[in-house]
Amino acid sequence: ERKRSIDDVIKRMCKEEGVGEEELRNGGQRREVSRLRAKISSYLSHEIGVPMAEIARHVGVCGSAVVKAIQKMGGD
């Protein structure tokens, strides 16, 4: 159930931002993709309570990259 909600969040936010879901999941490094990855990671972590390692698997980066992205956004 949680996997489906994670996938739904990623799909919706990618569509809203005009970023390809595949590019995000494959670790794309364009500025827009990185910003969106941080936004998605922050939302999944703070609003849904998804663990960093699980977020990382869904957004195509390692766990430490997820932590750094969230910190860069000003989240804890």
- Report, as an integer, the average pLDDT of 4-23: 96
Q: How many domains does the chain have?
A: 1
pLDDT at residue 3, rounded to an integer: 83
Q: Which domain holds residue 19?
A: 2-72
Q: Indicate the average pLDDT of the chain.
A: 93
Name the pTM for this structure: 0.90
- Report, as an integer, the average pLDDT of 42-62: 95
Spell out the alpha helix ranges (H) of the chain: 2-17, 21-25, 31-43, 52-59, 63-72
pLDDT classification of 37: cutoffs 50, 70, 90: very high
Residue 52 contacts residue 21 (beta carbons within 8 Å): no
